[in-house]
A and B are shown apart, each in its own frame.
Chain A
Amino acid sequence: MYLNQNYVNLDTQSNFLNESSYNFTNVKKQAFIIIYIFMLVFISISILLYVSQILNINKQSSKLLNLEKKLESIQAQNERLEVELSSKTSLAEIEKIAKEELNMVEASSKETLVYNNQFKKEETYVADIPKEKFFLAQIYDKIIKEVITVQAESLE
């Protein structure tokens, strides 16, 4: 009995909705539902995007951490190699290799040559050619000398 009464009431309500006076409210309700759904989708997408961004950031951070670690180890390796290079190129090591592997020996004596570019250049002139080499010229000079020389005692 009690149940039947309720059904009756439902029917009455259903009838009430079918009424034209209630149409505007119905549309409004539907619009709200659409907005709700849209909002729900939007929020869901936003949440998804947010989560994915967080995940992405975490992933990148993790990558960054790994890279930092790698950099640190490479730097340490680099420093170690630099030290190794210094040790290998130390004078003691070079001498050891030179003597033991290349069979080099120390010079017992060394000669230092100094290039001196301040030497005097002796200039020779054609006119300075020794006279004695030109016999004819000497005779000629003598004759000329005899001719032009005037003796003080001479009456002439």
Chain B
Amino acid sequence: MRDFNETLKNRVIFYFAVVFILFIILVLRLFWIQVINSAEYEHKALSQRVKEFVVDSERGIIYDNTGRKLAVSLPAKTVVALPDNVINPEKTASKLAELLDISYSTIYRRITSDAAAIFLQRKIDNNLYQKIKAKEIRGITFTEESKRYYTEGKLASHIIGFTGIDNNGLNGLELSYNNHLSGKAGKMIVERDAEGKTIPNGIRETVPGRDGYNVHLTIDEVIQYMAEKELKNAETKFDFSGGSIIVMDSSNGDILAMANTPAFDPNQFGKYPEKNWRNRAINDVFEPGSTFKIITAASALEEGVITENDILTDPGHIYVEGEEISCWSRYGHGKQSFADVVKNSCNPGFVEVGLKMDKKIFYSYIKAFGFGEQTGIRVPAEARGIIPEYNRIGSVELATFSFGHGLSVTPIQLVTAISSIANGGKLMRPRLVKKVDTGNSSENIINEPQVVRQVISKSTADKTKELLKQVVESGTGTQAAIEGYEIGGKTGTAKHYNEDVYDSSFIGIVSTEARDLVVLTILYDIQGETYYGSQTAAPVFRNLTSNILNYLNIKPDTNHKKGYEINNQELEVPNVKGKSFLNAESDLRGKGFNVKLIGDGETVRDQLPSSGIKTNYNSTVWLFADEKSKNEILLAVPDFRGMTGMEAIKLARQKGLELVLDGSGKVIGQSVYPGKRIKSSKKINLKLR
């Protein structure tokens, strides 16, 4: 009995000792976890509960100048697959393939991958989200992301551009103003339970981000819509590859509309070919053709080499260094004033004017009007245009420049240049963005109107405008006229080399009391029988402009004064040879002539036209410091045929040419072919019968 008791006692002691030792080990382990290594376990426990999220900043809104939202950001659902939770991959894939834009095999491959979570389709629309949610598919969940919406669809799509899946701007202002629009992402730390629900009163810390700044444009939604609609209407009437329209407020350089076709919907930009994304008004160049004659006219008037009353002749062509340059009118426009040259859009007339200017001067004006360099409108990939290098320009190139061929410009450059004529000579920087709203009015970024340079004087600008009004009233631009409004403009038709394809354009200045609007319409690659700017682009301009004037509530005024009237008075050129330049100039100007001085010197050695000749009021008299420089000047020979001897002599003297008449009656032949340019010292023999 005693042995039994002892054995029992020993066993109890043994088990007690074992339990005690285990307990000690447990206590030590607890001490290890709770005291010595507590920080590590505390951290582990916390990291299980605490989740850190990146809080995406909201991309800024793009507004038009009436406050209408053109681009906004909204939360959108992204379909996420959790492969471990998917029960039946085949069934899941087939269900999703019916709804998503992804094939069955792709979905199946993704939902059976090793990843813990995988995106199936990002930023789906709300309807699709509701449909998928209603199916309650196991292993398919949703996360929220920010998606860009363009509320007006295709409207102004080329200006606004679009963003990629990561909300970064890829095109248009979305790209160039990405830094302002995108903002800065914030952070959020939240304590969550096992089910992923936020623990009330748990850890909740936020590192605030910054929402993107809102951008306010100068675009007027209604004018933009009208412009796009006119291009769409033109598509039904003419056969062309695309078109551009720009409406600019010349007083401050604001772009009120900039439309292009073909267009695209930025909400689904991937569904359109890349060529549709191009903002042709800024990214592409075209040969301006006759619209560039405005630049030639303004430069020549500013330089004083010509006045609107100077007499020019057009036999239908002109020869420059052996190259024949034809007028659009086969038989030419004959004897005409420069005002008529502009009105008739006469190529040889403009060539004569262009060549009267020194190459250096004309080139500097082309550059000063902003051609060959970016306007600084801050839209991606702005083209510079193509102006040949100065050293490569000869007389032929200079001649072709004068009527807008041999160089390429962007539509925005042309509008900006013509705006400088509309506003009194100031070249403005075109403005698409008026303000970047940072949310704090003192920190708002205001894009003030900027004057780049004064290119021509106000008087020259006004004179050029008056000449352009004549073009619309009774010249080549009558198709653009709107009754009751003062509109000046110029048509342009440029033929592609070796193809019967044309770029047709019309640029107009619409004068209103408050400001002058400049409207450019271009139709690219026109084919077919109707291709002239006056037949195609001018009617588009008229329709658009009449709608704009109606929208802006600018009333017609049928009593407006006729802008420009030719003074038919003839004056006799006085003899100023031997006089000082100063006296000669004041004498001539006092009598009603324009004066152009050639060469350095104090005394007038020669003059053109010579003294005693009766010529138009306010025509140009050239004064030379030496006789040699007069003899070097090349003068275009008119077509004297059909004129009487007296008429021929008068015209020749007005131009500074000398004739030798043979016979009497009317001129039936001339020794120098019409259109040839000869030195003033060379005499022309005329045969009369």
- A residues near B (Cβ < 8 Å) are 57-62, 64-65, 76, 79-80, 82-83, 86-87, 90-92, 110, 112, 114
Contact = CB atoms under 8 A, between A and B. Distances in A.
A62 B221 CA distance: 46
B437 to A, nearest CB: 18
A31 to B, nearest CB: 41
Contact of A61 (B69, B201, B484): B201
A112 to B, nearest CB: 6
Contacts of B68: 86
A92 B68 CA distance: 14
Interface string B62-75: 00000011001011
Interface residues of B, number: 22
B590 interface: no
B238 interface: no
Interface of B: 68-69, 72, 74-75, 126, 149, 151-155, 198, 200-201, 221-222, 225, 484, 550, 555-556
Contacts of B225: 91-92
A90 B154 CA distance: 11
A91 B154 contact: no
Contacts of A62: 200
B60 to A, nearest CB: 14
B151 A65 contact: no
A58 B152 contact: no
B555 A86 contact: no
Nearest to B229: A95
B155 A92 contact: yes
Given A57-B201, A58-B200, A112-B555, A90 B151 contact: yes
Given A86-B152, A91-B221, A79 B201 contact: no
A27 B154 CA distance: 95
Nearest to B151: A86
A131 B153 CA distance: 77
Nearest to B126: A80
A114 B152 CA distance: 34
A90 B198 contact: no
30 contacts: A57-B200, A57-B201, A58-B200, A58-B201, A60-B200, A65-B198, A65-B200, A76-B74, A76-B75, A79-B72, A82-B69, A83-B72, A83-B74, A83-B149, A83-B151, A86-B68, A87-B152, A90-B152, A90-B155, A91-B152, A91-B155, A91-B221, A92-B152, A92-B153, A92-B225, A110-B550, A112-B484, A112-B550, A112-B555, A114-B556
B201 A86 contact: no
Closest 5 A-B residue pairs measured CB to CB?
Answer: A61-B200, A86-B151, A62-B200, A91-B225, A58-B200
A61 B198 CA distance: 10
A59 B550 CA distance: 62
Given A80-B74, A86-B69, A90-B152, 11 more contacts: A57-B201, A58-B200, A58-B201, A59-B200, A61-B200, A65-B200, A90-B151, A90-B155, A91-B152, A91-B225, A92-B225
Contacts of A114: 555-556
B335 to A, nearest CB: 40
Nearest to B70: A86
Contacts of A79: 72, 74-75
Contacts of B221: 91
Contacts of B198: 65
Contacts of B555: 112, 114
Nearest to A115: B555
Contacts of A82: 69, 72
Contacts of A91: 152, 155, 221-222, 225
Contacts of A60: 200
Nearest to B201: A61
Contacts of A92: 152-155, 225
Nearest to B198: A65
A37 to B, nearest CB: 34
Contacts of A90: 151-153, 155
